[in-house]
Amino acid sequence: MDAILVEGLAKRFGARTAVEGLTFRVGEGEVFGLLGPNGAGKTTTVRMLAGLLSPSAGRATVTGLSIRAGEPLRRVVGLLTEHPGLYDRLTGRENLEFFIRLNELDVATAWPRAELYLERFGLKGRENEPAGGYSKGMRQKLAIVRSLVHDPKVLFLDEPTSGLDPESARAVRDSVAELARDGRTIVLCSHNLAEVERLCQRVAVVKGRLLAVSGVRELRRQGLSLRVEVEGEAARFTAALAGLPFAPGVLTEGRVLRVLLSDEAQAPDVIACLVGAGARVRSATHGERPLEEVYLELVREEAAA
């Protein structure tokens, strides 16, 4: 069953179109990535899906509720905004209690769930300190807990690791992975493609409009490449490959050459060329392209168009 169903969604602010023609589905319990450069409309899309903005055109449902439903929709979704947005003078506990109250839940009943997340995110024992004294990572984790206190069915995470040091970012990523294991539907907006690759099953690439929507693996398989490991420095053989009639794109890293092909039948020619140039080939496999490469290609193609 689809947790999120989006059909032809568009948002205009006056004469400016933020996004248009978005159509995709997110399955229940799926971790779905929303990718795109700055200003591509990711945050606008999330705000529409979370019931903060009304769409200018199109329609969408989240857990069966129209995104125009307003308050009932906001009850079933959780939103982690790009900035944690905590009340610094209030303690961590008071910050959470406020959102428990806003969701009209009994604090005594809902607190054990909040405590569970505090424990899971390593904040237990710090909840009675003013949030203003928290580190950046702690603030982000408290903001995630805040988005979970009402047990939402769908969680939107907008740049959850933005601006965090590697250790904090990793802790937050691990936390998101744990939430995904709980079976919660998660939509993740991120510039960190490695993070998306690790956490998401499917992604949508947007830049004002939908450029692609696909499984992460399927997306990485778009376009052929040949991964060739040679003895010695691989960069020595790029000139030889440039002499091939189909002049393939080549990336090198240490002993590895990644040769971009337009046709699978070009692979034997590449190997023959390398051997002819004196390379001792240790292995050759068809490889998946890094998500980053596919993403950049999509975005550049859109810019060129």
Partner 1 sequence: MSERFHWRRARAVFWKDFLDLRKNPGLIVSMLALPVVLVIVPGVVVYSYVRNPDDPNLRVLATYYDATLPLGVNSARFLIERTLTDWFGLFLMMPVFVPILISSQAVAGEKERRTLEPLLASPVTAAELMVGKSLASLVPAVAISWAAFLLFCAVVDAVAWPFLKVLLMPNAMWLFGVAVIAPLFAFFGNGIAVVISARVAEARLAQQLAGLFVLPLVGLVGGQVAGFLQAGPEYYAIQGAVVLLLDCVLVVVGVRLFDRERLISRWT
Binding site for partner 1 (CB under 8 A): 13, 47, 50-54, 68-71, 74-75, 77, 79, 81, 83-90, 94, 98-99, 101-104, 130, 143, 146-147
Q: What's the rounded Cα separation, in Å, for the pair 180 and 79?
A: 15
Residues 93-116 as b or e (16 or more Cβ within 10 Å = b): bebbbebbeeeebeeeebbebbbe
Cα separation, 129 vs 142, in Å, equals 12
Question: Which lies closer to partner 1 via its Cβ, residue 15 or residue 305?
Answer: 15
DSSP H or E run through 300: helix 291-304
Compute the least distance from the CB of residue 78 to partner 1, in Å. Answer: 8
CB of 261 to partner 1, least distance (A): 46
Complex with partner 1: residue 143 or 291, whichever CB lies closer: 143
Closest CB to partner 1 among 149 and 241?
A: 149
Q: Which is nearer to partner 1, 54 or 262 (CB)?
A: 54
- Which of 117, 182, 187 has its CA nearest to residue 149? 117
Q: How far apart are CA 233 and CA 212, in angstroms?
A: 36
Question: Can you tell me the distance from the alpha carbon of 120 to that of 116, in angstroms, rounded to the nearest whole number?
Answer: 6
d(CA 25, CA 281): 44
- CB of 187 vs partner 1, minimal distance in Å: 13
Nearer to partner 1, 80 or 298 (CB): 80
CB of 217 to partner 1, least distance (A): 32
CB of residue 52 to partner 1, shortest distance in Å: 5
